[in-house]
Amino acid sequence: MTGTSRAGRATRTPVRTRHAVDTGYQRGEETRARIILAAIKCFGEFGFAGASTRDIAHEAGVNAPALQYYFDNKDGVYTACVEYILSLVMGQMGEAIEAAERVVADPDATDRQLIDAFCELQNRKAGFMEDVPEIEGWHMFMAREQAGLGPEAGFKVFYERFSSRLAAVGANIVARLAGVATDDEAMRVRAVCISTLGMAFRVMRRSVDRSMGWASEPDPERNRMVREAVLEQTRHLLERIVTQRKSGG
């Protein structure tokens, strides 16, 4: 079956049905994964509205009906992209989030334990940015997603299963350190400010690289400097909150 790309080139890729003799679970999963990676690149480059299913199919080397077969529609493809990225994020962050939640649940947890738990969350986030597999377009995909430029269903998946847990445990730690109620709005604001330290290096990479005079290629030493700066600032700010609590300020 022949499909046409944005560039006008014809591609010929056979449609393989779910019950075909020469296909199996593994081949189907490989095709599905290839479509997801292609979709992340296209959504990152063109946005949800700008990326067509034809673009995604061409990038993945399949024909357009294959997307409907695996994902029903473009919204389904997008949600699958979010699920895929979420699995990578939780692989890096899941243990640290669970450990921090256990510390928060312990009424006898010390200030140091609370601070260490928060810092480990920051460390894992920074580590994910360094160690994430090379996925073309995923930085722009997530920047658009976090800016609310994707479908609500995708945002809901990421928020409910990751963002809300991370925000809640961070806010609870800061509130405990400050000695205030967990719903204290001022402390929740401070928790967000602290937890997003270093975010500019991820969502404003081009501007930061230009202002710093950095090349756009990955640089382990540069990543190490950013991680150390984030952890140092995080610990300093959290310890300052404890000092203010103890001084009654």
105-144 pLDDT tens trace? 999 999 999 999 999 999 998 877 666 656 788 878 988 8
Which segments in the chain show pLDDT lower than 50?
A: 1-25
Domains belonging to the chain, first-starting first, are 2-72 (1.10.10.60), 82-247 (1.10.357.10)
pLDDT for the residue 135: 78
Average pLDDT, the chain: 86
The H or E element that residue 188 is part of is helix 185-195
Whether 112 contacts 177, CB under 8 Å:
no
Distances (CA, A) of 28 to 35, 76, 132, 147: 11, 16, 24, 32
pLDDT for the residue 26: 57
pLDDT for the residue 206: 79
pLDDT for the residue 131: 64
Whether 75 contacts 153, CB under 8 Å:
yes
Give the model confidence (pLDDT) of 227-239 as tens digits.
999 999 999 999 9
Paired tokens of 180: 């205030």
pLDDT for the residue 217: 76
pLDDT for the residue 133: 59
